[in-house]
Amino acid sequence: MSVEESFLRCTACEQESEHEVVYAGRFVSQIRCTGCGAVTRLDVSEDYFPDLRQRISSKPRRLMRRLRRDPGELATSLPERTLSKPLRMAQELRTVWRSRQDD
């Protein structure tokens, strides 16, 4: 899960304001207006799970590409990323689950 900020027109208050855009993997799952607090959730589960399968299956190939390109960087970042990955995946899955829920 990642959160980005963007300047958008809110569908609830009709004002252009800063919005927090929440991503689950590559998909926008939630948008929150920082002006009025309105939240728009987008059910991304139908697209997310096939994408997750593809990301998992392509991981070995992507790791090998990074190893060839910069072995030192991979050796230093891999232990930390390996330990943090389960938490990041749990957050991503929680975000997808919340996108399925009605307000």
State the pLDDT confidence band at 1, using cuts at 50, 70 and 90. confident
Instruction: Answer yes or no: are the C-beta atoms of 8 and 31 closer than 8 Å.
Output: yes
Distance CA 12, CA 100 (A): 20
Domain hosting residue 23, numbered range: 2-100
Q: What is the pLDDT of residues 41-54, one digit of tens each?
A: 999 999 999 999 99
Q: At 93, which helix (H) or strand (E)? A: helix 71-100
Q: How many CB atoms lie within 10 A of CB 84?
A: 10
With H, G, I as helix, E, B as strand and everything else as coil, classify residue 28: strand
pTM score of the predicted model: 0.73
Helical spans, DSSP H, in 6-70: 45-69
Distance CA 7, CA 80 (A): 33
**How would you label 5-44 residue by residue, b for 16+ Cβ within 10 Å and e otherwise?**
eeeeebeeeeeeeebebbbbbebebbbbbeeeeeebbeeb
Total number of domains in the chain? 1
Mean pLDDT, the chain, integer: 91
